[in-house]
């Protein structure tokens, strides 16, 4: 996953998966999502990112899968 913020255009671009985009959809006038041929979400573009997201508070945390209790 890759998150980019372009300050000059206030655009937030999130890449979840690399590959070939097969479908692009507008969620609203400021949000575009892209999917691969299997329907998996690949990318998201958010215009006016500074207004629409809490960018100064952005953080990333990787959490390991919890193990099932032994029986």
* Cross-strand bridge partners of residue 45: 13, 32
Q: Among 12, 7, 9, which Cα is nearest to 52's?
A: 12
Q: Across residues 2-24, what is the average pLDDT?
A: 93
pLDDT score at 71: 64
For residues 44, 41, 55 and 53, what is the CA-based torsion angle, rounded to 10 degrees?
80
- What are the tens digits of pLDDT across the range 16-69? 999 999 999 999 999 999 999 999 999 999 998 878 877 666 777 777 776 666
Q: Which of 12, 19, 41, 46 is nearest to 31 (CA)?
A: 46
> Domain limits of the chain?
2-54
């Amino acid at each position: 996953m890759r998150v980019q913020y372009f300050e000059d255009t206030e655009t937030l671009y999130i890449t979840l998966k690399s590959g070939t985009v097969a479908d692009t959809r507008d969620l609203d006038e400021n949000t575009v999502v892209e999917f691969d041929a299997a329907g998996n979400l690949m990318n998201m573009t958010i215009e006016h990112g500074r207004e629409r997201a809490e960018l100064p508070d952005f953080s990333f945390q990787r959490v390991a899968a919890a193990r099932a209790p032994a029986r």
